Structure 1
Amino acid sequence: MTKQGLLEIERISADQTVDIRHVVLWPEKAKPDVVLPEDADGTHFGASINGALVAVISLFETPEGIRFRKFATLPEWQDKGVGTQLLTHAIQWSRKKGERRIWCDARVSALPFYARHGFAAQGGVFEKSGVAYTVMSREL
């Protein structure tokens, strides 16, 4: 529950992630550019407020642990705890699967968010499509 309504987190299809990914992460690109080749192999979760999807996260099994990608919350729902609840759900899901680590390529602008949730930087900064990133990970 948020002050704005009932928050629900549930598994969704890869197709359901595309609109929010596009609006939040790469609005200047074509919508197909936010679709990942490995989306069919991933597990996707969405956070909905009163039935409307407002945040998404996609999880992929890797030899290094669970990698999450395309974690996005609509701007009007940022800083309201929705992303925190969705990330917490992803962490709990990963733990239940017996994973020992969860990680992502984090935008440098989001590093304080990940640090607040127990993630630490692993290595230096690199660039993808003109955006600065670093690997952030957390032991489970």
Structure 2
Amino acid sequence: METITPKIKQITSNETIAIRHKVMWPNMSLEYVKLPNDESARHFGLFVNGEIISIISLFKEKNEIQFRKFATLIEFQGLGYGTILLKNIIDLIKKEGITKLWCNARIEKSKFYEKFNLKLASEKFKKDGIDYVVMEQQFNN
């Protein structure tokens, strides 16, 4: 059996839109998945056989990074690709001297983020009918 080696590279915000839409908000418009500050963020994609299958967007403020719109195509979920992408991003931002990584996690995904040492940092809240919680990890650089 052939081994598939995923590749991670920086992409444009426009390259994230289709996956954001398909995975996170398929019943909303494409405009809905765009973020006001997408152009100032860094976006990364994980590619398998030249196809982008997982994406994440990083928004930096001071020495903290919030990751948003982290999504893997449904047919590739559960195969470890999201884990590879998030581990790579955590390694990258640690090297950059970032002191905190955080996200607004959908409640049903919080156990996934705990595998990366992200801890619950808030009570749950609702946005567009979905329950979220803030999860974060502090780094001692």
Residue correspondence of structure 1 range 1-140 to structure 2 within 5 A: 5-63=4-62, 65-140=64-139
The runs of 4+ residues in structure 1 deviating greater than 4 Å are none
Instruction: Give me the TM-score of the superposition, normalised by structure 2.
Output: 0.94
C-alpha distance in 2, partners of 1:134/1:4? 36
C-alpha distance in 1, partners of 2:131/2:63? 22
C-alpha distance in 2, partners of 1:134/1:37? 21
Secondary structure in structure 2 of the residue aligned to 1:45: strand
What is the aligned-residue identity percentage?
A: 38
Greater shift in the superposed pair: 86-95 or 21-30: 86-95
Q: 1:4 Cα deviation (Å)?
A: 6.3
Amino acid at match of 1:133: Y
Q: How many residues align?
A: 138
Secondary structure in structure 1 of the residue aligned to 2:65: strand
C-alpha distance in 2, partners of 1:128/1:21? 16
Unaligned runs of 5+ in 2: none
CA RMSD across the alignment: 1.2
Indicate if the aligned counterparts of 2:24 and 2:71 stay in contact, CA closer than 8 A. Answer: yes
C-alpha distance in 2, partners of 1:9/1:64? 23
Indicate if the aligned counterparts of 2:63 and 2:98 stay in contact, CA closer than 8 A. Answer: no
Unaligned runs of 5+ in 1: none
